[in-house]
DNA sequence: TTAATATATAACCATATGGTTATCAATCGT
DNA sequence: ACGATTGATAACCATATGGTTATATATTAA
């Protein structure tokens, strides 16, 4: 492993920020497929698909096995779990903060009504 | 609400793909702060900070209250939860697929040893 | 062996992103 | 009233991103 944890998160979140790539991952929920199957739902050139796939691969979200002339793509859940865990970790604190601010704002609201 | 769920996820994941912005969100775990406090850990110009903040805001990850000349920034946990839930939903399936592929590969490995 | 298929790469283009410096606007403290 | 402080905006630059078409490579099928 060359790149650090933060850089890995950059790649994973970056990969997830595109709807085509999220669509591909959704397709992969059903199991490993070849690339032309992955490409089917999108009206976009084959090279474009190829590059989206590379982004997913570089983020560690999928892996590829060449099987003859076809490439079988499968999902690597670990990279996604890392991203999920980053969010989940902070969500605990954020939710507290969020609720505190909500409460504060509600109080302000009430004050305004009284004034 | 104008933009759809997918576009919202684009923005949220995109916002999370930058280490400066993730750093800001980490700071916000401790509670609402003004912008210069958020900026402090980063050696980067004030306009750069201002724009990172706008990205977080447009993704719905933070909200802003002007309090005199200072802007108080607080986290909005809901946007992040949506992203976490998207990952979590698919992670269930991905993990299954991942484990299935692992098992398959291990079997192949054994076969190769026997041959 | 030759044509078709599956996929990658190269070259290009337009737009987005992330940074800078310079400047503006609003508010606060004296 | 005025200078300092907080923050946004404008203009600019370099690089990244997401798409295209054309072409190359490897494998399979006829």
* Amino acid B115: pLDDT: 41
* Chain A interface mutation, best of B17, B38, B60, B100, highest count of A Cβ atoms under 10 Å: B17
Distance, CA of B2 to CA of B13 (rounded, Å): 18
Asked if the structure places residue B21 within a domain, the reply is yes
In angstroms, the CA of A19 and the C1' of D25 are apart by: 30
Q: pLDDT category, A4, cuts 50, 70, 90?
A: confident
Asked if the structure places residue B10 within a domain, the reply is yes
Asked if the structure places residue B52 within a domain, the reply is yes
* Amino acid B86: pLDDT: 95
SS (H, E, C) B9-75: HHHHHHHHCCHHHHHHHHHHCCCCEEHHHHHCCCCCCHHHHHHHHHHHHHCCCEEEEEECCEEEEEE
Determine the 3-state secondary structure of A45 from DSSP.
coil
**Whole-number average pLDDT of chain A:** 88
User: In this structure, are residues A109 and A100 in contact, taking their beta carbons and an 8 Å threshold?
Assistant: no
CATH number of the domain at B22, please. 1.10.10.10
User: In this structure, are residues A44 and A20 in contact, taking their beta carbons and an 8 Å threshold?
Assistant: yes
Asked if the structure places residue B94 within a domain, the reply is no
In angstroms, the CA of A46 and the C1' of C11 are apart by: 16
* Amino acid A95: pLDDT: 83
pLDDT in tens, B16-53: 999 999 999 999 998 889 999 999 999 999 999 999 99
Tell me which residue in B6, B77, B101 faces A19 most closely, judged by beta carbons.
Answer: B6
Q: Averaged over A84-99, what is the pLDDT?
A: 88
- Domain span at B15: 5-88
* Amino acid B99: pLDDT: 78
Tell me the chain B residues in contact with residue A59 when contact means C-beta distances shorter than 8 Å.
none
pLDDT over 60 (residue A106): yes
More confident residue, A99 or B27: B27
B1 secondary structure, DSSP code: -
Cβ-defined contact of A97 to B78 (cutoff 8 Å): no
Q: How far is B62 from chain A (nearest CA, A)?
A: 10
Q: Which nucleotides of D are covered by protein (CB under 7 A)?
A: 5-11, 17-22, 26-28
- Please count the structural domains in chain B: 1
Least confident of A2-6, A12-16, A32-36, B54-58: A2-6
pLDDT in tens, A35-83: 999 999 999 999 999 999 999 999 999 999 999 999 999 999 999 999 9
User: In this structure, are residues B23 and B70 in contact, taking their beta carbons and an 8 Å threshold?
Assistant: no
CA distances from residue B60 to A21, A73, A96 in whole angstroms, order as listed:
22, 33, 17
The vertex-A56 CA angle with A50 and A40, nearest 5°, equals 45
A61 secondary structure, DSSP code: S
Report which of A21, A2, A20 is spatially closest to residue A12, judged by C-alpha positions.
A21
Q: Averaged over B71-81, what is the pLDDT?
A: 94
Q: How far is A62 from chain B (nearest CA, A)?
A: 10
Cβ-defined contact of B91 to A84 (cutoff 8 Å): yes
pLDDT over 80 (residue B77): yes
* Amino acid B45: pLDDT: 97
* Amino acid A110: pLDDT: 64
* Amino acid A5: pLDDT: 81
Asked if the structure places residue B96 within a domain, the reply is no
Asked if the structure places residue B101 within a domain, the reply is no
* Amino acid B97: pLDDT: 78
* Amino acid B39: pLDDT: 96
pLDDT in tens, B94-110: 888 777 777 766 765 56
Residue B22 CA neighbour count, 13 Å, CB half: 19
């Amino acid at each position: 492993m060359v790149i650090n944890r933060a850089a890995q998160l950059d790649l994973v979140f970056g990969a997830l920020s595109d709807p085509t790539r999220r669509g591909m991952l959704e397709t992969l929920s059903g199991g490993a497929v070849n690339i032309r199957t992955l490409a089917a739902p999108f009206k976009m050139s084959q090279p474009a698909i190829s590059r989206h796939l590379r982004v997913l691969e570089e983020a560690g979200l999928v892996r590829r096995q060449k099987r003859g002339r076809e490439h079988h793509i499968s999902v690597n859940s670990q990279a996604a779990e890392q991203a999920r865990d980053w969010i989940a970790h902070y969500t605990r604190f954020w939710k507290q903060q969020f609720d505190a601010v909500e409460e504060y704002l509600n109080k302000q609201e009430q004050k305004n009504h009284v004034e």
